């Protein structure tokens, strides 16, 4: 395979030197871009867009045409996996994602299959292959999945939820049933990510958006343990492969207190939200892993001058050049002005240039 024209993101994740701090944005393909909204309309709906490899490729590339981003991320959603497990996903404007068949008890859990990703999720693999070919080794492609715990919150609640009451009741009332649900979901996620790797992604990201809502012991037992299990099941290759080992980044929103344990999973990168200091975590982990983050997504509402100052503050908090991938601390909001994104990316590149 030909080498990447811009390997900065992968080099940072592997702990190699870089000319500047690489940057990408969680949810970089999405509603804040008018061209995304137009393509979604053309597709019919969000789910039609996910299931159309050509249009999924188009929206993956849209932010890269506007901004000099250092990575692309597959356009899809974490909820395609439970959909393929038979829960039947729909997405309604204003309400958010919903499942027709939520998982509420032991019988529901025992019925769950581990889908064959090339079959039931073949449209995602086709999108990966289409994007890989369109990128033509310009920047790396990040593939992703939800953590088993985060997927379980949607699977048990039947959609988004403020307090995750049903799924949290389940961990205390029926821990064995919850573990079985998380085991099956982990196997589904591992198979799904391995299929994305076979289809050509360059890096893996696992989104644990709701791990931070768990108590300390519950986080380790119901979220982190299953992410660790997935990391150990991935076909990442090794350092001696001509293209290098595929790096894995774990992002637990609200997970700053667990970084030592997250690093112990063998991941290469840890995503942090804006409530944690990058400098503090760097001191705790001593550059054993790469840190991704962590500008407050809301700071993009500010003026260009304030955005530059905020970028500088994040870079300064991290400190001397090292294992850092710049990002927001969570996904970009739908009403952010794309010009402000351009200011942020330019500031990261120019202020961090060695
Ligand atoms: O109306 C629309 O166009 C749908 C909005 C939308 C988009 C653009 C959804 C529905 N999903 C996505 C794409 C998406 N989702 C990507 C694409 C790649 C990118 O550009 O980053 C990714 C990586 C995700 C991941 C995702 N989906 C997460 C984890 C990351 C995070 O932001 O916390 C979660 C929790 C979801 C669930 C989901 N899908 C969509 C919505 C609105 C939600 C969140 C619902 C909730 O708040 O509970």
Q: Where are the domains of the chain?
A: 29-66+71-235
29-66+71-235 fold? TIM Barrel (3.20.20)
Ligand 1 atom nearest to 159, measured from its CA:
48
Residue pair 164/209 in contact (Cβ under 8 Å)? The answer is no
Measured from the Cβ of residue 243, the count of other Cβ atoms closer than 10 Å reads 11
Measured from the CB, is residue 70 less than 6 Å from ligand 1? no
Residue 242 pLDDT more than 80?
no
Using 50, 70 and 90 to split pLDDT, how confident is the model at 93? Answer: confident
Measured from the CB, is residue 62 less than 6 Å from ligand 1? no
Measured from the CB, is residue 164 less than 6 Å from ligand 1? no
Measured from the CB, is residue 117 less than 6 Å from ligand 1? no
Residue 80 pLDDT more than 90?
yes
Give CA–CA dist 23/325, Å, rounded: 6
Residue 244 pLDDT more than 90?
no
DSSP 8-state code for residue 92: E
Shortest-distance Cα residue to atom 47 of ligand 1: 160
Residue 239 pLDDT more than 90?
no
Report how far apart the first and last C-alpha atoms of the chain are (Å, whole number): 29
40 is catalytic: yes
Measured from the CB, is residue 273 less than 6 Å from ligand 1? no
- Mean pLDDT, residues 176-185 taken together: 98
Catalytic residue among 70, 77, 202, 208: 77
> With DSSP H G I counted as helix, E B as strand and the rest as coil, what are the percentages for the chain, rounded to 5?
50, 10, 40
Q: Torsion-angle region of residue 94: left (phi > 0), alpha (psi -120 to 50) or beta? A: left
DSSP 8-state code for residue 57: H
65 is catalytic: no
Token pair belonging to 194: 């391995």
Is the full-model pTM beyond 0.85?
A: yes
Shortest-distance Cα residue to atom 1 of ligand 1: 46
Measured from the CB, is residue 159 less than 6 Å from ligand 1? no
37 is catalytic: no
Shortest-distance Cα residue to atom 14 of ligand 1: 77
Ligand 1 atom nearest to 209, measured from its CA:
33
Mutate to test the pocket of ligand 1, among 24, 25, 27 (most ligand atoms within 8 A of CB): 27
Q: Is 27 helix (H, G, I), strand (E, B) or coil?
A: coil
Give CA–CA dist 298/111, Å, rounded: 42
CA of 264 to the centre of ligand 1 (A): 27
Give CA–CA dist 11/22, Å, rounded: 9
Model confidence pLDDT, tens digit, residues 313-349? 999 999 999 999 999 999 999 999 999 999 999 999 9
């Amino acid at each position: 395979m030909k080498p990447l024209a811009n390997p900065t993101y992968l080099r940072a994740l592997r702990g190699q030197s870089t000319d500047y701090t690489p940057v990408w944005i969680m949810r970089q393909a999405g509603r804040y871009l008018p061209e995304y909204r137009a393509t979604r309309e053309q597709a019919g709906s969000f789910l039609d867009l996910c299931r159309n490899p050509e249009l999924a490729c188009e929206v993956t590339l849209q932010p890269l045409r506007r901004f000099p981003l250092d990575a692309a991320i597959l356009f899809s959603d974490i909820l395609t996996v439970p959909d393929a497990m038979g829960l039947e996903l729909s997405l309604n404007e204003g309400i958010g994602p919903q499942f027709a068949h939520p998982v509420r008890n032991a019988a529901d859990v025992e019925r769950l299959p581990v889908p064959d990703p090339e079959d039931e999720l073949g449209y995602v693999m086709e999108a990966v292959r289409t994007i890989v070919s369109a990128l033509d080794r310009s920047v790396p492609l990040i593939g992703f999945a939800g953590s088993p715990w985060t997927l379980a919150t949607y699977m048990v609640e039947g959609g988004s939820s403020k307090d995750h009451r049903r799924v949290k009741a389940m961990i205390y009332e029926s821990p064995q049933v919850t573990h079985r649900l998380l085991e099956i979901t982990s196997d589904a996620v591992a198979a799904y990510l391995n299929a994305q790797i076979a289809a050509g992604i360059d890096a893996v990201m696992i989104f644990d958006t709701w791990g931070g809502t768990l108590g300390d012991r519950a986080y380790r037992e119901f979220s982190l343990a299953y992410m660790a299990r997935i990391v150990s099941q991935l076909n990442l290759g090794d350092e001696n492969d001509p293209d290098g080992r595929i790096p894995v980044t774990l992002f637990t929103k609200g997970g700053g207190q667990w970084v030592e344990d997250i690093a112990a999973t063998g991941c290469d990168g840890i995503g942090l939200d804006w409530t944690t200091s990058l400098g503090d975590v760097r001191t705790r982990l001593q550059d054993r892993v790469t840190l991704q983050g962590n500008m407050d997504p809301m700071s993009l509402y500010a003026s260009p001058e304030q955005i530059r100052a905020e970028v500088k503050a994040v870079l300064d908090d991290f400190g001397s050049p090292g294992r850092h991938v710049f990002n927001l601390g969570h996904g970009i909001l739908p009403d952010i002005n794309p010009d402000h994104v351009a200011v942020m990316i330019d500031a990261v590149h120019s202020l961090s240039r060695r």
